[in-house]
Structure 1
Amino acid sequence: MWTGVGAVGTAVCGMLWLGDPAAFVRIASILMIVGGIVGLNLAGSNAH
């Protein structure tokens, strides 16, 4: 989970402050990573 958070944070910082292009595919990929993190957290809470 933390690797995904770090990857998303790095990509967003690059787009906001370093001038990396904010293409549709890049933003969609970031949203899929965030969705996966949320899904893993929801699935983990049911396992207890």
Structure 2
Amino acid sequence: MKRLYFSALSALFSVLAFVATVSIKPACFSLFYQPEIPRGLKK
């Protein structure tokens, strides 16, 4: 039972880490490329 709980916990943590990475990366990119957005829209 303990092993099952540990595997479920690790799976949950990996999913949370994946979601955090997916949600944080676009935010970082939009912050970094904020000055480039008007230039990109002009194209």
Return the TM-score normalized by structure 1: 0.51
| Counterpart residue type for residue 12 of structure 2 | L
Higher alpha-carbon Rg: 2
Q: Deviations over 1:1-48 (max 9, x none)?
A: xxxxxxxxxxxxxxxxxxxxx701100100000000000011101012
**Structure 2: runs of 5+ lacking an equivalent:** 30-43
Identity, % of aligned pairs? Answer: 15
1:28 & 1:38 partners in 2: Cα distance?
Answer: 15
* Structure with higher RCO (Cα < 8 A, 6+ apart): 1
Aligned-residue CA RMSD in angstroms? 1.4
As a proportion of its length, which structure holds more helix?
2
Unaligned 5+ segments in structure 1 are 1-21
- Equivalent pairs, count: 27
